[in-house]
Structure 1
């Protein structure tokens, strides 16, 4: 897996795996938005399937990312070459991690609750409003995770 640490393809100081994860993170809100549109046009099965697939792929990408960070030397190693203040970058990273953890929990809960409601026959139906609200919160959290992830990338590898 040495390829992970070769120079990335986006022309920054980031290694390959960071560029790959950056692209996925940047696309994530758009992929989730496409899945939401499926629900709006009443393609509920496709909506559920796409949300589940996007969630699973996201967990795999996060695992790949975590492996790369640990093996690649961690935050301190990736800070090398950055003109950003160490403390500022660390605070932004901590903020990102808090949002990302919240996001994965709320996203998993939203999917789990939806499957449970679907089995009970209340989704679509009486559980729809609660699911819509949970979905809106989840989408906002995914957007914020993406935004803060891009912010961290810029601080570490561009600025």
Structure 2
């Protein structure tokens, strides 16, 4: 089994996505700062489109790596230097299920937020009738991606770093 670049027996793509999960929340906060404080709507739009595109590509590559190249997350986790007991494995699986609730809903909320914004917000971007709904969807998306990040990082920790 290979080692990811973070030094654990995971995969390059798992480590890449974990790194992305660490970076996404500060970048998202910067995007929110740019629109809420600086009122730079154009920068916010560019950052959100960029973050959405990068996450879409990263998640697609990650799924290909985990599902096709390695036959599923179980095969990767089972290559740990210290094997998990059945109870520990069940715990890791349950943590993954919690993570997946957020990981599945995040792209749906983000896509809806982006799609509606691109259709309803003027170009160049400025406050408009859609702004109220956009703010609500944006905050839901922000909370969802933050929970995706936190639960994903915790899953990686339980699956590869800790002795659970």
Match of 1:30 in 2: 26
Residues 96 and 149, structure 1, Cα contact 8 Å, conserved in 2: yes
2:73 is paired with a residue of what secondary structure?
helix
Q: 1:87 to 1:35 in 2, by over 3 A?
A: same
1:99-118 aligned within 5 A: 99-118=102-121
1:21-58 Cα shifts (integer Å, max 9, x gaps): 21011111111111111111111111111101110100
In 1, distance between residues paired with 2:105 and 2:51? 17
Q: 1:149 to 1:36 in 2, by over 3 A?
A: same
Among 47, 72, 80, the residue aligned to 2:70: 72
Match of 1:45 in 2: 42
In 2, distance between residues paired with 1:37 and 1:29? 12
Q: Does 140-149 or 122-131 show the bigger shift?
A: 122-131
Among 10, 22, 25, the residue aligned to 2:6: 10
Q: Structure 2 unaligned runs (5+)?
A: none
4+ long deviations beyond 3 Å:
119-123
What's the RMSD between the two structures over aligned residues? 2.0
1:76-91 aligned within 5 A: 76-80=74-78, 81=80, 82-83=83-84, 85-91=88-94
Provide TM-score, normalisation by structure 2.
Answer: 0.86
Q: Structure 1 unaligned runs (5+)?
A: none
- How many residue pairs are counted as aligned between the two chains? 155
Residues 114 and 123, structure 1, Cα contact 8 Å, conserved in 2: no
Higher helix share: 1
Residues 21 and 149, structure 2, Cα contact 8 Å, conserved in 1: yes
